[in-house]
Amino acid sequence: MIRQSWWKLLSFVLLMYVCSMGFIVKVPLLDGRLQQSVRNLFFHVPMWICMMTLFSVSVYYAVRFLRNPQTNYDLYSVEFARTGLLFGFLGITTGAIWANYQWGEPWSGDPKQNGAAIALLIYFAYFVLRGSMNDTDKRSRISAVYNVFAYCMLFPTIWILPRLTESLHPGGRGSEGNPGLNPDDTTAAMKTVMIPAFIGWTLLGIWIASLRVRLRIYQENKTSNG
């Protein structure tokens, strides 16, 4: 039992560390820049890292389902996508809070904001598609194909197109691209919190998705036996 749960314990320890040190670690206080709001880096960016990881697992099981249709593959695919979408909305929300302090409004039509919103809407349509079909086999096959399409759309909407235009995000460099954060806004001390944050939030997302899969399997077994 302990061997199977070590990563859950690690997630808890890392997030406790992040939620504590994230508010007390020393951050660079440069004039006219991020100031104390840079602490949102430990919460906002890891949500996107977690989302990408969960969507990657989801599309992996979607492809496995297309190659070898099994109910469990479909369950894993949909629940990891569902949890990934949750963390995507958390990323949008924490980003809007950060933008409100930095740019004066939570939503300003920034390319990165628009691209993230489009990506999440594409995945939201995935669940609308699944809900529109009653035939289980047909729903699983079509949604698996759509999952692959949705995952491919993540890269132009979040990583490619926003870097081709000017952005309000810190680090914006016009034609040279706009990395999410200027190197001057981070320190070595911040990285000791940032890296654990990436790992901790991602493990939490996997934990939540795994619990949802177990719950779905239990419900399906209960229904079939009832």
**Rounded CA gap, 51 and 198, in Å?**
11
- Closest by Cα among 115, 116, 113, 121 to 169: 113
Structure tokens at 188: 């070595």
Model confidence pLDDT, tens digit, residues 114-147: 999 999 999 999 999 999 988 889 999 999 999 9
Within-domain flag for 44: yes
Within-domain flag for 116: yes
Within-domain flag for 165: yes
* pLDDT number for residue 211: 94
**Rounded CA gap, 199 and 197, in Å?**
5
Taking residues 201-212, report their average pLDDT: 96
Q: What is the pTM of this model?
A: 0.89
Q: How far is CA 151 from CA 3, 14, 48, in A?
A: 32, 28, 14
**Rounded CA gap, 219 and 9, in Å?**
26
**Rounded CA gap, 14 and 30, in Å?**
28
Within-domain flag for 12: no
Q: How many Cβ atoms are within 10 Å of 20's Cβ, its own excluded?
A: 11
Q: Which one-letter DSSP state was computed for residue 151?
A: H
Within-domain flag for 26: no
Within-domain flag for 45: yes
Domain hosting 47: range is 38-220
- Domains identified in the chain, total number: 1
- Amino acid 12 reads F
* Site of tokens 């809407």: 121
Model confidence pLDDT, tens digit, residues 47-100: 999 999 999 999 999 999 999 998 899 999 999 999 999 999 999 999 998 888
Within-domain flag for 3: no
**Rounded CA gap, 108 and 96, in Å?**
9
Percentage of the chain exceeding pLDDT 90: 56
Within-domain flag for 103: yes
Q: Give the dihedral of Cα atoms 117, 120, 125, 128; nearest 10 deg.
A: -120
- Is residue 174 predicted with pLDDT exceeding 80? no
